[in-house]
Amino acid sequence: MIASTTRTSTELSDLELRDTSSPSQHLPSRHAAKWRWAIKRGFDILAAGGMLALTLPLLTLAAVAIRLETRGPILFRQERVGLHGRIFTLAKLRTIRHEPPAEGRHSWARELDPRIARVGAVLRRHRIDELPQLINVLGGEMSLVGPRPEVPHYVERLAGELPDYHLRHAVKPGLTGLVQVRARQGIPESRRSIGGGFRLM
C-alpha cells in the first residue's frame, strides 16, 4: 500500500487503505490509523521506559564523565521539527566542548571535529549520546523508529529543495531510522537521501 508522494500530510490522513488483491474491499483509513497509532504508541512507551530503566546506570556514568572532562551542561538541548511541523526540544548528552554557537546558526559536528571531547567521541561511537531522547519518546514528541528530526532552518531550506520533503512530517520523528543506521555519522539524514521522493507504506 503506497501513498502518492504528491499529496500533503493533511490529505494523507484522509486516504483509504486499499487491499490491492481485492479492489472491492476497503478499510476506513481513520479507524485503521487510530489502531495503528495506539499500538505503536503503546509499544513506544513500554520499550522506551524499559530501555531508560536499563540504561540509567550507564547514563549516570556518562554524565559524571562529561562533567569531569569538560565544563558546561551535561545535556545538549536544541529545537527540532516534529509531527505536523511542530517544534519541540530534543535532548542529547553533550559530546562537544562547551562553545555556544552563534545566534541562529548551527554546525554539525563531524567524526574528526576537534570540538568533540574524548568522552564525547566514545559516546558518539556507541550512540550513547542519543539515549536521553528516550524521554522525548515517553513524552510523545518522538517515536523509537522514524525519520530523524532536523533543526528548523534546515527544514525550511530542504523544503524548498525537495518537493516531497514535507511528507516526513506526516509521522513522528524517530530515535533511529533505516537511513541513519546505514549512513555516516555527522551528516544530516535528509542530505543523504537520494532524490526528493518519500513513500509511506
Give the start-to-end residue ranges of the domains of the chain: 28-99+110-192
According to the per-residue pLDDT averaged within each range, which of 28-32, 55-59, 181-185 is highest? 55-59
In this model, does residue 56 exceed pLDDT 50? Answer: yes
Give bridge partners of residue 79 from the DSSP assignment: 89
- Count the Cβ atoms, other than its own, within 10 Å of residue 84: 13
Give me the pLDDT at residue 29, please: 78
- Count the Cβ atoms, other than its own, within 10 Å of residue 78: 13
Please count the CA atoms within 13 angstroms of the CA of 195 that sit on its side-chain side.
4
Residue 88: pLDDT band (50, 70, 90) is very high
State the average pLDDT for the chain.
77
Give me the pLDDT at residue 191, please: 46
pLDDT tens string 98-119: 665 554 455 555 556 678 889 9
Least confident of 44-53, 86-95, 99-108, 113-122: 99-108
How far apart CA 190 and CA 198 sit, in angstroms, is: 11
Across the range 8-30, mean pLDDT stands at: 48
pLDDT tens string 62-80: 999 999 998 889 999 999 9
Please count the CA atoms within 13 angstroms of the CA of 115 that sit on its side-chain side.
13
Across the range 183-187, mean pLDDT stands at: 48
Query: What DSSP string describes 8-53?
Result: -HHHHTTPPEE-TT-TT-EE-HHHHHHHHHHHHHHHHHHHHHHHHH
pTM of the model: 0.70
How far apart CA 152 and CA 87 sit, in angstroms, is: 8
